[in-house]
Amino acid sequence: MRFEYSPAPESRSVVRLRDSYGLFIGGSFVAGSSAFKTISPATEEVLAEVTHAGPEDVDRAVAAARQAYERVWSAMPGRERGKYLFRIARIIQERARELAVLESMDNGKPIRESRDVDVPLAAAHFFYHAGWADKLGYAGFGPSPRPLGVVGQVIPWNFPLLMLAWKVAPALACGNTVVLKPAETTPLTALLFAEICQQADLPPGVVNIVTGDGATGQAVVAHPGVDKVAFTGSTAVGKEIARACAVSGKRVTLELGGKAANVVFDDAPADQAVEGIVNGIFFNQGHVCCAGSRLLVQESVADEVLAALRRRMGTLRLGDPLDKNTDVGAINSRAQLDKISELAGSGEAEGAARWSAPCPLPDRGFWFPPTVFTEVSQAHRIAREEIFGPVLSVLTFRTPAEAVEKANNTPYGLSAGVWTEKGSLILWMASRLRAGVVWANTFNRFDPSSPFGGYKESGFGREGGRHGLEAYLDVVGGGDV
Amino acid sequence: MNVLGAAGDFAASEQSLRRFLHGLPGVDETGARARADALATRSVKADSKRQAIDLAISMIDLTTLEGQDTPGKVRAMCAKARNPGFGAPPVAAVCVYPDLVPVAVAGVAGSPVLVASVATAFPSGRAALDVKLADVKSAVAAGADEVDMVIDRGAFLSGRYALVYEEIAAVRGACGDAHLKVILETGELSTLDNVRRASWLAMLAGADFIKTSTGKVAPAATLPVTLVMLEAVRDFFGAEGRRVGVKAAGGIRTEKDAIRYLVLVNETAGEDWLDPRYFRLGASSLLNDLLMQRERMETGRYSGPDYMTVD
């Protein structure tokens, strides 16, 4: 019997959108020079007008952050800073539904993910780092490690609020102040976070949010008043930032692209491995830097695994991001859709076999069906370049050594997955895979206590856990003795 | 993979049976739970909810398995099974102890409702094989359409798979034309790997249905266990071309619970299993909640438990 789920849209009424948003500088929203529009990628409707911060706006933001750093935040005892972070974490929880709906509207991701993953994890990052604020002397960086100063942070559009939390929570816990530039296509939850800072009575200037495009981001990272730069985004931009900061004395941490191998052995827990493959590449429409975009499957089970994968992909529900039953939402922008389409086209042109889940695509907005490429070789572009979309490239291997060799044969090294019931093989693989995170019998699992970051062109520095504090403390100076 | 072709060998060889069952892909407990939790967040509203409620009602094995059961209670239950009221469709079957089968047969006569009887020294399964077979034969002779047997968990857990297999095959033989549901009592199997192995063992031995629980052991039916059993019937169908049903029994009390199971069936085994011939819900109090929700969908308000019959 056919069992169709009726539409179950989450209500938008919980979100109160303003027509236009200013820049959040020195604790209040201020006007800027020019403006741009942010749209819903699922419908292409304009959601709001947002200010484009120019160099003079960035100047003001950095000055406000410097003043707050020197007069208030760096001098405040850690236990007092911790109270503000706890308060922010609780407000995120209280306003979770509002944040989740707004995130899905602006980003296009399914409400199930923003509700169950992004927003709870964002709150968890603030709770976790609130706990560190008065215990930094026990983090292994000396008895009283000092903050760095003003931190310039540029974040991507794939997890707008969560990436903000990854950046802002440790910076503030360590005693730094922040100038944050959200992504051009997804500024709205950062601006709602600004309201949350006001609601939490966070001292003015501790968090400043400047919206804009790449030029704004460049102005933030190049600003001489910025002591530290933290960036998450593409490897190309990351390299530019590294070059720009190389002679400036600024500290830099970069979290960049990935082309992760998800390695499935013949003794893997079959149904869970298929779930892990699906979760690895179709979670968040594949807009995940650590996405398991290369499936390495042992040749002896390749046919069975692929048949099960196609069957499972047939049940994925693509559509309205606000529908509670949607599994795959909209591609974040037309530019990203064009990039995905171009790379998928190259896969076909280079001789790989394409299969897309038979799901109808909506007429308006930006959409790409969950897609698998088989008969892929290491030389194909779709096996080497980050697609950042719902496109999986499948390769096979015969021995564990071959799996390691293929998995590591990439300029990236952010994450990897290993699927086997054999514990010793998991450990053997994990010690040889050159990736910052190795997941065993799971994929795309995140926790604020677990450090995250890359090898090679996936960047450097870690976020989360005790290791993540290092990026926001003056560990070279050694602090006060 | 043609495993049934070797079924004769299994009966003959403990070792080949063990090799086969232990060669099945493992189940990662964390992953299986995560999948069941994710499917439990599906939001079933409006028309789809209306459809799901009637489907759930038509899949119920309305059950009473108490020492204090009386013919009167069984007659009342049969009346409700045939016509639950509020315009709802009849349930799939009534499920009783063997001695009450004649009462149930009379109670549902002339209706599409089937009579299921537990047998084989339910619920513990601790009796000699000939006693169990006699139990089955008496239920079938009294007119039971379906027999719900329990497996010997002690034998299964100690690895004597051939014993379990032969017992199920013998009961299958004693059932004649009656359908055989094999209760795995998953609450005593302790791991999802065991659930998958027991599911395959029962199907290889001839089960028409595999069923989670007696309802006498906690935990009874759970979503992760039912997920693994649905994967097993799906894979068995792919290998053998025979469609085996699944019955989730015990602990399913609310309309929300029931719909979660239907979602699990829909997205695991697929819509071919969304049929009372291939999926059942063993329950007693569930029916009233479904009826109450059904009435609410039609009238826009809840009436309350006083308007629902107790039996």
Q: To the nearest whole angstrom, how far is the Cα of B14 from the nearest Cα of chain A? A: 23
Q: Does B2 touch chain A (CB under 8 A)?
A: no
B23 touches chain A (CB under 8 A): no
d(CA A213, CA A217): 7
Tell me the two tokens of residue A273.
Answer: 């491995």
Could you tell me if B46 lies within 8 Å of chain A, comparing CB atoms?
A: yes
pLDDT at A337 over 60: yes
Model ipTM over 0.85: yes
Q: A477 pLDDT exceeds 70?
A: no
Candidate from B31, B45, B271 with C-beta closest to A276: B31
Would an 8 Å CB–CB cutoff place B177 in contact with chain A? Answer: no
Nearest to B213 by CA among B135, B130, B282: B282
pLDDT for res B2: 47
The bridge status of strand A20-21 relative to strand B60-63 is: unpaired
Among A6, A112, A325, the residue with its CB nearest the CB of B47 is A6
pLDDT for B225 equals 98
CA angle B37, B40, B44 (to 5 degrees): 165
Mean pLDDT on A13-24: 97
Longest dimension (CA), chain B: 61
Q: Say whether A268 and B25 touch across the interface (CB within 8 A).
A: yes
Question: Which of the four pLDDT bands, split at 50, 70 and 90, describes residue A474?
Answer: very high
Q: Are A88 and A195 in contact (CB under 8 A)?
A: no
Report d(CA A252, CA A148) in Å as an integer: 11
Q: How confident is the model at residue B305, as a pLDDT?
A: 85
pLDDT band at A126 (very low <50, low <70, confident <90, very high): very high
How far does the CA of residue B236 sit from the closest CA of chain A (Å)?
A: 14
Of B32, B45, B231, the CB nearest to A6: B45
A209 compared with A248, residue with greater pLDDT:
A209
Q: What is the pLDDT of residues A287-307, one digit of tens each?
A: 999 999 999 999 999 999 999
A25-48 residue pLDDT tens? 999 999 998 999 999 999 999 999
| B contact test, residue of A272, A304, A425 with most B CBs within 10 A | A272
pLDDT mean over A264-281: 98
Interchain contact A300–B (C-beta under 8 A): no
Q: Residue A39 contacts by C-beta under 8 Å, 6 or more apart in sequence?
A: A45, A46, A47, A185
Half-sphere exposure of B242 (CA within 13 A, CB side): 13
Contact call for A272 and B46, based on CB within 8 A: no
pLDDT at A471 over 80: yes
Query: Tens of pLDDT along A376-395?
Result: 999 999 999 999 999 999 99
Share the mean pLDDT of chain A: 96
Q: Measure in Å the smallest separation between the Cα of A89 and chain B Cα atoms.
A: 24
Place of tokens 């975009």: A293
**pTM metric for this prediction:** 0.95
Answer yes or no: do B271 and A267 touch at CB < 8 A. no
Q: Do A315 and B44 touch (CB under 8 A)?
A: no
Q: Tell me the H-state helices in A174-269.
A: 188-199, 214-222, 235-246
Annotated catalytic residue within A255, A385, A457, A463: A255
Q: Over 60: is that where the pLDDT of A481 sits? A: no
- Amino acid type, B235: D
Q: Which H or E element spans position B134?
A: helix B129-141
Of B30, B41, B271, the CB nearest to A442: B30
Q: pLDDT band at residue A479, thresholds of 50, 70 and 90? A: very low
CB pair distance less than 8 Å for A271 and B46: no
Q: Which residues contact A103 (CB under 8 A, 6 or more apart)?
A: A109, A114, A118, A119, A160, A161, A186, A188, A189
Interval A70-87: pLDDT, tens: 999 999 999 999 999 999
Residue A290: predicted pLDDT: 97
Give all domains of chain A, ordered by start, each with its CATH number.
12-256+457-472 (3.40.605.10), 261-447 (3.40.309.10)
- A429, A438 in Cβ contact below 8 A? yes
B53 interaction partners in chain A (CB closer than 8 Å): none
Going by pLDDT thresholds of 50, 70 and 90, the confidence category of residue A63 is very high
Q: Does A5 touch chain B (CB under 8 A)?
A: yes
Nearest to B32 among A8, A112, A272 (CB): A272
Residues of B whose CB is below 8 A from A421: 26, 28
Does any CB of chain A come closer than 8 Å to the CB of residue B49? yes
What mean pLDDT do residues A232-253 have?
93
Instruction: Tell me yes or no: is domain B27-297 CATH 3.30.420.480.
Output: no
Is B35 in Cβ contact with A272 (below 8 Å)?
yes
Q: In this complex, do B35 and A4 lie within 8 Å of one another by their Cβ atoms?
A: no
User: pLDDT at position A480, please?
Assistant: 45
Q: Is B193 on the interface with A (CB under 8 A)?
A: no
Count the Cβ atoms, other than its own, within 10 Å of residue B165.
24
Structure tokens at B176: 């004649």
Structure tokens given for B28:
């990662």
Query: How many A×B Cβ pairs under 8 Å?
Result: 73
Section A220-248 average pLDDT: 94
- pLDDT by residue (tens digit) across B164-196? 999 999 999 999 999 999 999 999 999 999 999
Count of C-beta atoms within a 10 Å radius of residue A342: 11
State whether residue A440 sits within 8 Å of chain B by CB. no
pLDDT one digit per residue (tens) for chain B, 311 residues: 445 454 555 555 899 999 999 999 999 999 999 999 999 999 999 999 999 999 999 999 999 999 999 999 999 999 999 999 989 999 999 999 999 999 999 999 999 999 999 999 999 999 999 999 999 999 999 999 999 999 999 999 999 999 999 999 999 999 999 999 999 999 999 999 999 999 999 999 999 999 999 999 999 999 999 999 999 999 999 999 999 999 999 999 999 999 999 999 999 999 999 999 999 999 999 999 999 999 999 999 988 888 888 87
* Shortest CA gap B76–chain A (Å): 30
Catalytic (active-site) positions of B: 148, 211, 247
